[in-house]
Structure 1
Amino acid sequence: MAVISFLTMACKGQSDEVDKTVVKVLDIERYMGKWYELARYDHSFERGLVGVSATYSMRDDGLIKVVNAGFKNSLNGEESIAVGKAKIPDLKEQGKLKVSFFWIFYADYYVLDLDDNYQWAIIGSSSDKYLWILSRTPFVDDEEYTKLLSKISQRGYDVSKLIKVEQ
Structure 2
Amino acid sequence: MRIAAALFSALLLAGCASSNAVDAPRTVGDVDLQRYQGTWYEQARLPMFFQRDCVRSEARYRLQDEGRVEVVNRCETASGEWKEARGEAVPQQPGRTDKLWVRFDNWFSNLFPGLSKGHYWVLYLDDDYSVALVGSPDRDYLWLLSREERIDSATRERLLDEAHRRGYDTDELIWRGEAR
Give your verdict on TM over 0.5. Answer: yes
Q: How many residues end up aligned between the 2 structures?
A: 149
Alpha-carbon RMSD: 1.9
* Cα distance change on mapping 1:61 and 1:95 into 2, 3 Å: closer
1:24 aligns with 2:33: no
Q: Is the 8 A contact 1:49 1:70 kept in 2?
A: yes
- Match of 1:12? none
In 1, the alpha carbon distance for the partners of 2:134 and 2:50 equals: 16
Identity of aligned residues (%): 37
Partner of 1:42: 47
Matched, 1:96 2:99: yes
Question: What aligned pairs does 1:10-159 form with structure 2 within 5 A after superposition?
Answer: 20-60=25-65, 62-74=67-79, 77-101=80-104, 102-103=109-110, 104=113, 105-159=116-170
TM-score by length of 1: 0.82
Maintained 8 Å contact 2:46/2:140: yes
Q: Gaps (5+ residues) in structure 2?
A: 1-21
Deviation string 1:5-35 (CA, Å, 9 cap, x unpaired) is xxxxxxxxxxxx9651211110000000000
With structure 2 as the length reference, what TM-score do the two structures score?
0.76
Q: 1: distance between equivalents of 2:102 and 2:45? A: 17
Q: How far apart, in 1, do the equivalents of 2:66 and 2:163 lie?
A: 34
Q: Deviations over 1:99-142 (max 9, x none)?
A: 00124331110000100000000001122110000000011111
State the Cα deviation string for residues 122-165 of structure 1 (Å, max 9, x = none).
Answer: 00112211000000001111111011111111222111111101
Measured in 2, the distance between the counterparts of 1:146 and 1:19 equals 22
